[in-house]
């Protein structure tokens, strides 16, 4: 659950623990106004590094969710292809037309459900965060388009 009052949220810290990483992931999904207030408060307190982490977190979260959605989509498409089509319950031409949209929707829901409890999305978020800390820029959303 996203903290309703970001002013009382704990400092992000150096993200050495999974708890700190989950906190950053959840704060990244908070209302932009509340998050920016928290960033300003951190800067006013002299915590510039923590403020930068929180400022960059939404882009990392969005990229993690998009990439996880792509991975889930590949998994769902592979699973669907492995099911034998008998002709008895298959939807025919209409199913072929719209099945991809349905699987994409399922993948998007799977990537964003359970917030910081989703191991795949949180793992991707952690990898992106670590690369970003090493100087790698946050991937643009277009980087993942067309991969699924």
Burial of 32 (0-12, 13-18, 19+ CB in 10 A): exposed
- The per-residue pLDDT string of the chain (148 residues; one tens digit each, 9 = 90 and over) reads 334 434 444 444 444 456 777 888 888 888 888 888 888 988 999 988 888 888 888 988 999 999 999 999 999 999 999 988 887 777 778 888 899 999 999 999 999 987 777 889 988 988 888 888 777 777 665 555 544 4
What is the structure's pLDDT at 13? 46
**For residue 28, what are its two tokens?**
């990244």
Question: What is the model's pLDDT at position 38?
Answer: 87
Q: Distance (Å, rounded) from C-alpha 128 to C-alpha 98?
A: 32
- Output the pLDDT for position 107: 95
- Residue spans of the domains in the chain: they are 6-144
CB 64 within 8 A of CB 124: yes
pTM of the model: 0.73
Under 8 Å between Cβ of 110 and 102: no
């Amino acid at each position: 659950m996203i903290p309703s009052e970001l002013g009382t949220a704990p400092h992000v810290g150096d993200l050495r623990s999974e708890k700190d990483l989950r906190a950053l992931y959840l704060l990244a999904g908070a209302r932009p106004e509340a998050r920016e207030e928290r960033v300003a408060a951190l800067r006013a307190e002299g915590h510039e590094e923590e403020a930068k982490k929180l400022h960059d977190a939404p882009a990392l979260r969005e990229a993690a969710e998009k990439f996880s959605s792509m991975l889930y989509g590949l998994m769902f498409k592979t699973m669907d292809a492995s099911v034998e089509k008998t002709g008895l319950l298959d939807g025919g031409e209409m199913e072929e037309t719209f099945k991809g949209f349905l699987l994409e929707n399922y993948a998007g829901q799977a990537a964003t459900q359970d917030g910081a409890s989703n191991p795949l999305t949180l793992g991707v978020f952690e990898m992106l965060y670590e690369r970003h800390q090493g100087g790698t820029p946050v991937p643009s959303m277009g980087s993942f388009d067309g991969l699924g």
